[in-house]
Amino acid sequence: MQVGSTLIVGAGIGGLTAAIALRRQGIPVEIIERDPNWTAYGVGIIQQLNVIRAMGQLDMLDAYLAKACGFDRTTLFVGPGGQKEAQFDTPRLAGPDYPSNAGIRRVDLQQVLAERATDLGAKVRLGLTVSAMNDDGAGVDVTFSDGSTGRFDVVIGADGVFSQIRGMIRPDVPRPRYTGQWVWRYNLPKPADHDGIHVFAGPCNAGLVPIADDLMYMFLLSQEPEGMVLPVEGSARAMRERARMAPPQIAALLEQITNDAAVVARPLEVVFVEGDWHKGRVVMIGDAIHAATPHLAQGAGMAIEDCLVLVEELVKADTTEDAFRAYRTRRLPRVKFIAENSIRIGDMQMGKVPPFDVGALNGQTIGLMAQPI
């Protein structure tokens, strides 16, 4: 199928990756982004083995890893004493010369993706939203918030958990729900001997993730009442207070959490779209359809994989309808597994479900992510 002009709504990880994949096929791309400053949210992000493979497929692995910290090893610690329970290396899906996983600052990831997308010819417009869409079957006429208009063969909603596009094409989908947990993140100096991800399970659920040779971030999970508002002033103290009964490896770092403005904390909100992920020539990717919690560290990974699969199907299908249905069929088992089990881990941490073997679940996840998409 010949795909002409494509509009991507949202210039985050998913939207930029979709633009790169489309432009590599020679498909014209325009991206709009609500945020006029194009701010990268958060401090750092874990990119697991399937993301490393995907970056290789997009021919941008070297540029990506130049900004990241690669590693193979994951170490699990349990209890208030922080006893080591397991340590393992994951497979190198991009080949023996590349690490299995990576940590990267979100601002650096956005920069790498944005530079590649624009170098390939994608056009980015900031401070815009969609005011109206009219799909006549042959194309989509779009009116933007500044009054300008455009006509596109395909519109891709990559605008996150509170997606405007989802509300326009699937108004029947329930609003995102709050799980009961918050995640807190803070950048810290990385010791030279810190090797890979360190995950700490109960009663303080936390982790340490390298994102540069000399930098890592700490994450903490806490149970909070719905509607809690966190003022910037005092947020460093609030994060320290959430590390109750912290293992010594985490406790030793808490006094370094002092800068209120450097604390990044947010409630965990999830949504999963049952049924169609498209309507006519408008389709959704990433958190707009399957926003999960970070417990399996696969939110960005699932969005990136969505983009690769969607573009593959668009190129080989006879119609957009065929492409969108094939895309959902291929993606559904993986994204549903991640969404359901990420939430299940959080529910266990909050005592909502009986305890289960998270290590075994992580092993199952790694095995699934190693499979072709």
Angstrom distance (rounded) from CA 102 to CA 210: 8
The answer, yes or no, to whether residue 41 has pLDDT greater than 80, is no
What are the tens digits of pLDDT across the range 111-147? 999 999 999 999 999 999 999 999 999 999 999 999 9
Confidence of residue 62 (pLDDT cuts 50, 70, 90): very high
Q: Which residue has the higher pLDDT, 140 or 359?
A: 140
Position 360 pLDDT exceeds 80? yes
Residue 221 CB neighbour total at 10 angstroms: 22
Q: What domains, with CATH codes, occur in the chain?
A: 6-70+102-176+270-370 (3.50.50.60), 179-268 (3.30.9.30)
pTM of the model: 0.96
The arithmetic mean of pLDDT across residues 298-324, rounded, is 97
Q: Work out the pLDDT band at 107, boundaries 50, 70, 90.
A: very high
- 42 has a pLDDT exceeding 80: no
Q: What is the mean pLDDT of residues 290-313?
A: 97
Question: 289 falls in which pLDDT band (50, 70, 90)?
Answer: very high
Answer whether residue 46 shows pLDDT above 90.
yes
> CA-CA distance, 265 to 10, in Å (whole number)?
22
| 187 vs 256: CA distance, rounded Å | 9
pLDDT mean over 266-284: 98
Q: Using CB atoms within 10 Å of the CB of residue 26, give its burial: 0 to 12 exposed, 13 to 18 middle, 19+ buried.
A: exposed
Average predicted confidence (pLDDT) for the chain:
96
| Mean pLDDT of the region 103-117 | 96
What is the 3-class SS of the chain, one letter each residue?
A: CCCCCEEEECCCHHHHHHHHHHHHCCCCEEEEECCCCCCCCCCEEEECHHHHHHHHHCCCHHHHHCCCEEECEEEEEECCCCEEEEEEECCCCCCCCCCCEEEEEHHHHHHHHHHHHHHCCCEEEECCCEEEEEECCCCEEEEECCCCEEEECEEEECCCCCCHHHHHHCCCCCCCEEEEEEEEEEEEECCCCCCCEEEEECCCCEEEEEEECCEEEEEEEEECCCCCCCCCCCHHHHHHHHCCCCCHHHHCCHHHCCCHHHCEEEEEEEEECCCCCEECCEEECCHHHHECCHHHCCHHHHHHHHHHHHHHHHHHCCCHHHHHHHHHHHHHHHHHHHHHHHHHHHHHHCCCCCCCCHHHHHHHHHHHHHCCC
pLDDT level of residue 232 (50, 70, 90 thresholds): very high
Is a pLDDT exceeding 80 seen at residue 324? yes
pLDDT at 133: 98
Mean pLDDT to the nearest integer, 63-74: 96
